[in-house]
Structure 1
Amino acid sequence: MPVTYVLVHGAWHSGQSWARVVPRLGASGRPVFTPTLTGYGETRHLLSPDTGLGTHTADVVRLLVEEDLRDVVLVGHSYAGMVISAVANEVPERIARLVYLDAMVPVHGESALDAMPVIRGMIGGDWRMPPPPAPFGLFGITDPADIAWLRTMLSDQSTRCLEEPVAMDNPALAAIPRTHIHCTVKPVDVEFRPVPSVQPNGEPADVRELATGHDCMITTPAELAEMLLDIGDLAASRLSSPAGAGR
């Protein structure tokens, strides 16, 4: 059974950040969508103090509904771990698998600040948050050409993105399998919370690693794409099973 990839970028980035991954995934014949969330990239002019997690959740839900996307492998990078969690809570029937790509992994009622307390220090007195300075603001990228490209896509974000709590109270959410991909090269001491050994659906945890920095879609796109293709095969296989076909 075919699956569709929806790749959701993290804070300060845009859908352009997946540009090196999309052709590799697309070569498999599976559809790939890379939405830019409201307030970032080409939509930066729409950024306001009210732009938050709810805005970004609505962005992705609208894409899934308007395009009638089903059997979706929903990938969230960094902050977008919050977004994909909220999306799956709203439309669990459309999601085949959640992929937390070096991402925040919240529980019901948490904000990004709860899921990753170290970022509290980034919030100042203004609602607008510019991209952080180096080294954190380079997101693990060291190649000068890649840094220059990264800076073309970075833009400010609203503090509301980090402060707004996530809703994860739909019982159907727990049934969706999850994969966690961790980038192991950290320029600064920023760690995400440990992954429980058992998923909410009772399956063993699926945790994978990429030996690169946080922006793996830029630094190791081939390796990331290969991993996502394998995850897509896993999702398709599960959907084709008698249990998956009847979900």
Structure 2
Amino acid sequence: MINRRNLLAAGATAPALVLSPSVGAAEINVQATKGKTFVLIHGSWHSSGHWERLAPLLSAAGHAVIAPDLPGHGLSARFPGSYFQRPIDISKFSTEASPLAGVTLDQYVATVSDSIDYARKAGWGPIILVGHSMGGVTTTAIVEQHAKQIHHVVYLAAFMPSDGTSALSYLSAPENAASAFGPLLLGDPSKTGCVRIDMRSTDPKYVAALQLALYNDAELPDFQSAVNLLTPDDPIQPFAALTHRTLANWGSVPRSYIRTSKDNALPIALQNRFIREADAFAFRNPTKVYDIDSGHSPFISQPTALADILLAVASVRGDEALPPWAR
């Protein structure tokens, strides 16, 4: 949370922390009279709460921050009944239909569009869209639809699928072979309607695998807190939705990609493939690449280092402001 010292230091540019029920539950809206507006899009199983360490660092520098819960996440999460039965009946849990099976990418896009509209009507600064992991699919769709409203787009260890492809199609790619996430998945998504994992597992091996995949460079207490905020079901429809991007819209917006070198969920080889494909598609607008020596979730393990990169992106000529390890 923002402490008193940060609020005082940011007084001229970020005078208040504003919770706005008109935008959606669990959003962080810090009004800035100058600076940019960061719209943070979480990934699978995550929520707005996972940005808690990053958001104050951005707002203290004079930027507005909006972090919406995508439908089916955070306070709008819904759970299979078997998830709360302990000891768990793994057979039932692996086959029970998800209450989120009907959630679509269009619903994700509508939620983020509402946040962008809110920021625009409030007169906040230019939009910097940041998508993490699976949030990159929503990010791409938003940029394609709202290109003129987006100042910069940042993919944080995120899916950046080619036109006409889906996130699902990359899961079997050779570049994803090193992903540690496969063994965590439970059930058949075509039957459950979701990608399901067990956040409340008491199996030491499963818990260790979960930490290895998502928070391998986080301290144990941080991992425990972060995983406690996750939800077990992530709707399958956004994974299967085809990406649409054009040169005139998506290809015209300046973009950056933050690679996470210790990532066990989205291997660096797959991250590099996304960058290559994007640059081949929009070669006149190449991706600016930043590196952070972290696992898949630097907003948990290295929020200050991540904020340094994002603040550099927000600056007019930010490259020279980057610390040596991020160049």
TM-score range, shorter-chain basis? 0.7 to 0.9
Mapped to 1, the partners of 2:317 and 2:171 lie a distance apart of: 28
% identical aligned pairs: 24
Q: Which residue of the other structure, out of 227, 244, 254, is the alignment partner of 1:167?
A: 244
| 2:20 counterpart residue number | none
Cα 1:219–1:94 change in 2 (3 A) is: same
List aligned pairs for 1:62-81, cutoff 5 A.
62-68=114-120, 71-81=126-136
Letter in 2 for 1:215: S
Deviating above 6 A after TM superposition, structure 1's stretches of 4 or more consecutive aligned residues are: none
SS, match of residue 226 in structure 1: helix
Q: Provide the TM-score with structure 2 as the length reference.
A: 0.66
Mapped to 1, the partners of 2:308 and 2:229 lie a distance apart of: 24
Q: Which residue of the other structure, out of 294, 315, 323, is the alignment partner of 1:212?
A: 294
Question: Aligned pair 1:88/2:154, yes or no?
Answer: no
Contact 1:131 1:137 in 2 (8 A): no
The CA deviation string for residues 209-229 of structure 1, in whole angstroms up to 9 with x for no partner, is 111110110000000001100
The CA deviation string for residues 143-167 of structure 1, in whole angstroms up to 9 with x for no partner, is 2111111122100211112111122
| 1:34 counterpart residue number | 67
| 1:192 counterpart residue number | 270
Contact 1:73 1:96 in 2 (8 A): yes
Which of 1 and 2 has higher RCO (CA within 8 Å, sep 6+)? 1
Q: Provide the TM-score with structure 1 as the length reference.
A: 0.85
Larger Rg: 2
Contact 1:128 1:159 in 2 (8 A): yes
SS, match of residue 270 in structure 2: coil
List aligned pairs for 1:1-247, cutoff 5 A.
2-45=35-78, 48-68=100-120, 71-117=126-172, 118=176, 122=185, 124=188, 125-131=191-197, 133-135=206-208, 137-138=210-211, 139-141=214-216, 142-155=218-231, 156-169=233-246, 171-187=248-264, 190=267, 191-194=269-272, 195-196=275-276, 198=279, 200=282, 202-234=284-316
The CA deviation string for residues 43-69 of structure 1, in whole angstroms up to 9 with x for no partner, is 103952111222111110121123326
Alpha-carbon RMSD: 2.7
Cα 1:177–1:225 change in 2 (3 A) is: same
Letter in 1 for 2:192: D
Contact 1:180 1:207 in 2 (8 A): yes
User: Structure 1 stretch 127-136 or stretch 2-11: which is displaced more?
Assistant: 127-136
Letter in 2 for 1:162: F
Gapped runs of 5+ residues in structure 2?
1-33, 80-98, 199-205, 320-327
